Amino acid sequence: MEPDNSCSEVCNLPDSSHPHTLTHHDCFRFALKDYFTIYVFLGPFSEDPKTWDHSGRLVGIDGIFVTRNLDNCENCRDQNENGLVDSDVIPLTTPLVAYWRRKEILEA
């Protein structure tokens, strides 16, 4: 099977170079005692959360789903007592390349 050189072609990088940019986050799952969402933006964004889901600068979302009431969920209580950490990685390479291309076109 041939290696995928699509990133090299898009980024104008040597074939042997496949850099990827990621954002990684860790958080205590029950930190807010309710479900919550982590939004990742590239550049400035509105302070109005109602606009975030449709922002052109939004590059990733991670929903942390938890129960509000631990009374009826033994597994949830165990996770809370043990300080369960939720981890996720959101890839940024494609949005960064798109941003770079748009800036290049605007500055040309």
- At residue 49, the pLDDT reads 95
- Within the chain, which residues score under 70 in pLDDT? 1-19, 104-108
What region does 12 belong to: left with phi over 0, alpha with psi -120 to 50, or beta?
left
Strands in 47-84 per DSSP E: 58-64
**Is the pTM higher than 0.85?**
no
Give the residue extent of every domain in the chain: 23-107
pLDDT value, residue 8: 41
Q: What is the pLDDT of residue 39?
A: 94
Q: Could you say which DSSP state residue 31 is in? A: T
